[in-house]
Amino acid sequence: MIKLGDVVKRIRSKNAGPFWITVDIFCGDLKVFNLVRNTITTSMVLQLTKVPAKALKRFELEGLMVVKFSFHRQAIQGSRGDRDMHGAQIANLFLELDVKVLV
């Protein structure tokens, strides 16, 4: 199994205020960027984050070779259902995505 974390340079996630989490996928080069752009579909990310479609934004930044996803926190930061105050551990779900189709 090949994971997304094995092909890209870096993935980080972080709160963007108490109501959003944002995930930055730094692809490292244009070839990987194009692969990620075409392979990591929005519906894959919806499934991974369990957010409704209208609560997810997708950005593709060719200059930085970054694919970015921002989505509503399903539990507001620090609320009873929240397990991760800074939202930084959710990046691991993306790092561990099975992407054998990529290579």
19 binds another protein (CB under 8 A): yes
What letter does residue 55 receive in the DSSP assignment?
G
Q: Strand 10-15 vs strand 66-72: parallel, antiparallel, or unpaired? A: unpaired
14 binds another protein (CB under 8 A): yes
50 binds another protein (CB under 8 A): yes
Collapsed DSSP state (helix, strand, coil) of residue 22:
strand
User: What is the spatial distance between Cα 83 and Cα 11, in angstroms, rounded to a whole number?
Assistant: 20
Smallest distance, another protein to C-beta of residue 72, A: 5
Write out the binding residues for another protein, residues 55-74 only, by CB under 8 A: 55, 57, 59, 61, 63-64, 66, 68, 70, 72
User: H-helix or E-strand containing 13?
Assistant: strand 10-15
30 binds another protein (CB under 8 A): no
Instruction: In the chain, count H helices and then E strands.
Output: 4, 4
Q: Which residues are near another protein by CB under 8 A?
A: 14-20, 22, 24, 26, 48-50, 55, 57, 59, 61, 63-64, 66, 68, 70, 72, 76-81, 83-86, 89-90, 92-93, 96
